[in-house]
Amino acid sequence: MLKFGLALEAPVAIRYPRGEAYDGLEEFRTPVELGKSEIIYREKDIALLALGSMVKTAVEVRDLLKDKGLSCTLINARFAKPIDSETLKEISGDHSLLVTMEENVTSGGFGERARQLLFDEGIDMDLVNVSLPDMFLEHGSVDILKKKTGLDAQSIVKRIVAFLENNR
C-alpha cells in the first residue's frame, strides 16, 4: 500500500497502526487499484468487509464462523475512501448480511459510509458495523483494548451470531 500511495500524484493518508504488521494471506495479494477492494474468500450469506489491521481479525472471525457452519466471504476493503461500491453491489446479490470491521470510531467511519451506500443504491442488506465506540480510550496493549472495545474475534463472532438469531 505504501508503494501504491507513493506512486499516486495526489495527497494520500496512510494509517500505520501499533503492533505487528500482519504478513498472512500472501497468496491473495493482488495488485492494488485505487478504490478497489480484494475478495479473499468468496462464499455467500455473510460478507466480512475489513479495513486495515482488522483484516487479520476478520480471518479469525471467518474461521470461527465456519466452525459454526456459517458461509462467509472475506473482503479486504483496502480503502476507506473511495469505497468500492462495485464490490458492495456485487456481493449484495448472494449475501444477506454485511459486517464492516474497522479500527475507527463509528460516527463518520467506514461502516457508516457503507450503510449510506447501501441505502443510496436501494440495496436491502443488513449491516453490522464493528467499530470503536465514540469515547475516550486509555492507551494500552492493542489486544487488551480490542477485547475491551469488542473488536476482538470472539466478541465480533458473538455479535454476528446474536444478530442472526434476533433477525431470523
Identify residue 152 by its one-letter amino acid code.
Answer: D
Q: CA separation (Å) from 126 to 69, 94, 145, 148, 150?
A: 20, 12, 27, 25, 20
Per-residue confidence (pLDDT) for residue 37, from 0 to 100: 93
Nearest to 71 by CA among 42, 44, 91: 44
* pTM confidence score: 0.85
> Which is it for strands 72-76 and 38-41: parallel, antiparallel or unpaired?
antiparallel
In which band, very low, low, confident or very high, does the pLDDT at 22 lie, cut at 50, 70 and 90? low
pLDDT tens-digit map of 87-112: 999 999 999 999 999 988 888 899 99
3-state secondary structure (DSSP) of residue 52: coil
pLDDT at 72 over 70: yes
Spatial separation of the C-alpha atoms in residues 103 and 101, rounded to whole Å: 7
Which residues have CB under 8 Å from 54's CB, separation 6+?
101, 102, 103, 130, 151
Q: Which three cell numbers stand for residue 52?
A: 486495515
Band of pLDDT at residue 23, cut at 50, 70 and 90: low
The single-letter code of the amino acid at 79 is F
Give the pLDDT score at 137. 79
Specify the pLDDT at position 26. Answer: 66
